[in-house]
Structure 1
Amino acid sequence: MHGKEILHKMKLKAGLFSSGADTGKGKSKMSKHITHGFHCMKGKSNHDMEDYVVSEFKKKDDSELGLFAIFDGHLGHDVAKYLQVHLFDNILKEHDFWTEMEDAIRRAYHSTDAEILDKARLLGRGGSTAVTAILINGQKLVVANVGDSRAVICKNGVAEQLSVDHEPSKEKRMIESRGGFVSNLPGDVPRVDGQLAVARAFGDKSLKLHLSSEPDVTAVPIGDDVEFIILASDGIWKVNVKPRSSGHYQKHKGCSISSKALDRGSSF
């Protein structure tokens, strides 16, 4: 299945033309062929919708920035909503945003998490994953994430995951070094202190000693071979796929999961 077919199938399956979801779209003023959109719809889970998005272009210092993000809240939506309002502002305020962008993003993730923890009485005990993408003049993309929301880029029909899944089982040593533990009960996913299914997140003050808000950051050039980029929360990706090799996993997992998740009735 090629990139355009996957994207079309995702749109149809998610009901992008229905009125029962929060949707939006726009396009770049600098690069007319670059368009963007978002779609938020509650899935089949029994809890409230806790996802927030950013999807916009803005001017900064004679450059055009595309700002895109998914914030997937848990134990409430307030932390995710706070990130929607403040995270990109904090990133863009970093003094070396243009010269050391990846470091600036890392610092802004940490400072924003500190703000959230300071406001825990107001924002509650919950937290949020995050995946952010900054497109600079349509030519360079910088992706950062904490948690299990993903960014996938599709080039010539081949998908590659740009983000990193921060699973407790993969970061057990780090969690234990902070004094925590990773549960692994039958029929359940690994969890930090038996509670949270991701090893990195914003907020979660009661678990913060054992969690990290350090993002993984990746920068890639954007050329004519790029068909689209998808940011999505974990619901669209949680499908059991057994790749043939680690290389196959990195280059093809996005396409496999996109198509198979839609075949099995997942939504995003």
Structure 2
Amino acid sequence: MAAAAGVEEEVTAARNLLAVLLHDLAGPEGHPRPQNRSVSRDEAEGELSEAVLRLVGGRDGPAWLTACLVRATVQQTLQGDLDSFVERKQDVVEGAENDVQTEDLLHFDALFKRCLNCLQDISSQWQMQLPSVPTNKRNLQVSIHAIRNTRRKMEDRHVSLLEFNQLFGLTDGVERSYFAVFDGHGGIDAANYAATHVHVMVACHEALTSDPARALKEAFQRTDSMFLKRARRERLRSGTTGVCALLEGDQLHVAWLGDSQALLVRQGNPVTLMEPHKPEREDERERIETLGGCITFMGCWRVNGTLAVSRAIGDIDQKPYVSGEGDVSSHTFNGTEDFLVLACDGFYDSVSSAEVPGLVLGHLQENGGDGQHAAERLVAAAKEGGSSDNITVLVIFLREPAKVLEDFLAHGSGEGEPLFDFGGGGVEVPSDHAG
């Protein structure tokens, strides 16, 4: 009975979302103008998905329906011949041989108008016949907090896609969720671009179902290559670090570029998943110097006296010294994992990995096992620790927060001893696969 009632509530909420959406699309403000005026064919799916998600996702409706709407709308928009949307052709340089190729640039305003028409048509059809309510949704609580802090601009972006399968039409029965933090520098363009396209590159990768770690790693390279083309035609100079996590069944795949980081907490212990790309890393220094670059100390170690990270998407003026090739590690869950934290260097430069479990678990204890604002606790700790940078933190609870707290309370502590004492250490667990 409870399950049936839950499905009925989902159906009612879905129909309400469609009704509100159709009403708004029919009004004078229903057709917002997109920010991008021209896109390549490779960029079209990501840019349209982001635009529709912004339009639909801000409304109070089931997230699964939003994801399905985005998928169906974008798919229908891109069906057929897009030649009529070609605005101009752009010469681009490919490869080490400086091979010049021609790339079509599409008039995005016109393409987006078609997209809105498709959205209206699909919403009308689904009012009559809704898609099936998914029954195998991943049940994860996610806490997110991001602040500009004392910086003049906010150059961080983050992505949280619990409905990854619905967004990309994956029906193989394997649960997937995707999370990412991108920390931009020299402007927001590269971080915006990565937040729009990396997950699309993952989903479209031919190896997603057979080798998801490879798909995640190569998604960085593909996104970097695409952004460099845009950077050349629009004279963009920004870059971004990034860390992404793909949860797939009982597997965790983490890919990263630069110094944004992921941390897993298992039974109260921090588990090292990755090593940030810093110029002072011996392998990074050797790679850069072999290419003819240099590492200099100017307050911190920097590539060619400029960037404090050695890998990033973008940074066209520093290629190939600042590499767009990410690293990846894969891990198998055993059921004892508590939560995963993704954050930019504005957090990790002020809060050590060893402090994270106590901060989150202390927050749960103070709030009766409610983890909704756990990310705010971590951001506050970074500010108190002296961080003046943009700070973005995602906490993904891999078990119910109340259960995580209950397990720790069950272990207890000696009288007069702190409840959480992690000794300043951490556990470094070799990954199942790294590259």
Question: Do Structure 1 and Structure 2 share a fold, with TM-score over 0.5?
Answer: yes
- Structure 1 residue 217 corresponds to structure 2 residue 322: no
Q: Which runs of 5+ in 1 are unaligned?
A: 1-25, 242-250
Q: Which runs of 5+ in 2 are unaligned?
A: 1-62, 65-133, 360-377, 393-435
Letter in 1 for 2:342: L
C-alpha root-mean-square deviation of aligned residues, in Å?
A: 2.5
What secondary structure is seen at the aligned counterpart in 1 of 2:240? strand
TM-score by length of 2: 0.49
Within a 5 Å distance, the mapping from 1:1-268 to structure 2 comes to 30=136, 33-44=139-150, 46-58=151-163, 59=165, 60-61=170-171, 62-120=173-231, 121-122=233-234, 124-137=236-249, 139-170=250-281, 171-185=284-298, 188-239=299-350, 252=354, 255=357, 261=382, 263-264=384-385, 266=387, 268=392
Deviation sequence 1:9-57 (CA, Å, 0-9, x none):
xxxxxxxxxxxxxxxxx8997366522232111122x330011111022
Alpha carbons 1:72, 1:129 under 8 Å: kept: yes
Q: Which runs of 4+ in 1 moved over 3 A?
A: 26-33, 251-263, 265-268
In 1, distance between residues paired with 2:271 and 2:136?
26
In 2, distance between residues paired with 1:32 and 1:164?
28
Alpha carbons 1:161, 1:253 under 8 Å: kept: no
In 1, distance between residues paired with 2:382 and 2:307?
23
In the TM superposition, residue 264 of structure 1 has moved relative to its aligned partner by 2.1
Change (3 A) 1:89 1:189: same
Change (3 A) 1:240 1:181: farther
Other-structure match for 1:22: none
In 2, distance between residues paired with 1:131 and 1:215?
9
In 2, distance between residues paired with 1:87 and 1:35?
23
Determine which structure has greater relative contact order: mean sequence separation of CA pairs < 8 Å that are 6+ residues apart, divided by chain length: 1
Letter in 2 for 1:164: E
In 1, distance between residues paired with 2:245 and 2:235?
25
Query: Higher helix fraction: Structure 1 or Structure 2?
Result: 2
Bigger Rg, structure 1 or 2:
2
Other-structure match for 1:245: none
Change (3 A) 1:124 1:151: same
What secondary structure is seen at the aligned counterpart in 2 of 1:198? coil
* More displaced stretch, 222-231 vs 71-80: 222-231
TM-score by length of 1: 0.78
